[in-house]
Amino acid sequence: MFAKALTASLLAVGLSVGLTACDPPMPPDVLAALTEQVVTCVPGEVGVAFPDSLADLTSSWQGSLAESCGDMSLVPLASDDPNADVIISDSGFIDAACTPFEQVPFAQDGSVLVFLNSEVASLDITPAIVAGILSGKISDWSDPEITKALGGVALSPLAIKVLPNVQANALAATETWLAESGQTLTKSKFKAINFDDGSALMAMAEGEVALTTLSAANYNYSAMASVAVDGEVLPYLGGFTVDAFLCGEDTLVKRAVVKYLLRQDSQGALLSGVVLPLADELRLESVTKVSKGLPVPSDLPTPEQ
């Protein structure tokens, strides 16, 4: 359970936050950082559709919000619930019933290469090897490039089969990442799908590899190839965000609930899940965007505090 935060009621609005009329406006990122030190509570109930990969975290968020705001509640819903007020989408696709009035990044995801080969538990490779495997130029586990990557350990001859279906945002992110690495992705070898439900990962056969999402790989406990660039191990290949879509009528309570989920302590829960928290700069941009119209707490600390 997160530490209980101070709450700011809807009535605590429009105060100067310690600034006089002669002071310049506070930069949006500074204001966002300060306002998250208290919880903005707006009476009401908000149904939030979460992807299955985040379902285990929803009770913590629901409980901590109830502890901080007795009159504002979050109701977790299935990912495909058409009545959701807010949709957290890890694929970028949402139910047609949702007409979003706001969309903000909520968490960080990315593309990864997963594999199944009983002779090797870990695989440390380069962007060039990733490109070679995905293009078919590296088509066998005994390829010299893989042997070199394994420190001279040669694997038994076994055909590498690359699964064709890839979630669309993961495919696009991988193409961009490879291009930045001086490599090319042969997109014609793949079929972009709206959502990777992980079923293909669970059914992988010996020798197969798949380009998938970090969230799907973690959720299915798949073995992921490790890629290092300039000595730094990457958390994923190409990155993309898991976004929050605020549906229907623009209401303050929807904004307040999403702002709560973007708090630093709320985002910390993601570290025990299958995706990553947003980088702080991007997170504060989301906080600023979703805070439109929300009250500024009367007891907001000054930047010097």
Instruction: For residue 149, count CB atoms less than 10 angstroms from its CB and return exposed for 0-12, middle for 13-18, buried for 19 or more.
Output: middle
The answer to whether domain 6-107+242-290 and domain 109-233 are alike in fold is yes
The span from the CA of 176 to the CA of 182, in Å, is 10
Q: Are strands 86-89 and 239-247 parallel, antiparallel or unpaired?
A: antiparallel
pLDDT by residue for the chain (305 residues), tens only, comes to 444 344 443 333 333 334 444 455 556 666 656 667 789 999 999 999 999 999 999 999 999 999 999 999 999 999 999 999 999 999 999 999 999 999 999 999 999 999 999 999 999 999 999 999 999 999 999 999 999 999 999 999 999 999 999 999 999 999 999 999 999 998 899 999 999 999 999 999 999 999 999 999 999 999 999 999 988 999 999 999 999 999 999 999 999 999 999 999 999 999 888 999 999 999 999 999 999 999 887 666 665 55
CATH fold for domain 109-233? D-Maltodextrin-Binding Protein; domain 2 (3.40.190)
DSSP 76-113: EE-TT-TT-SEEEESSS---TT--EEEEEEEEEEEEEE
Angle at which helices 58-68 and 252-261 pack, to 10 degrees?
120
The domain segmentation of the chain, as residue ranges, is 6-107+242-290, 109-233
CATH fold for domain 6-107+242-290? D-Maltodextrin-Binding Protein; domain 2 (3.40.190)
Q: What's the residue count for the chain?
A: 305
Three-class secondary structure of residue 300 per DSSP: coil
Q: Give me the residue label for tokens 């038994």.
A: 156
Contacts of 133 (CB under 8 A, 6+ apart): 113, 160, 162, 209
The span from the CA of 241 to the CA of 276, in Å, is 9
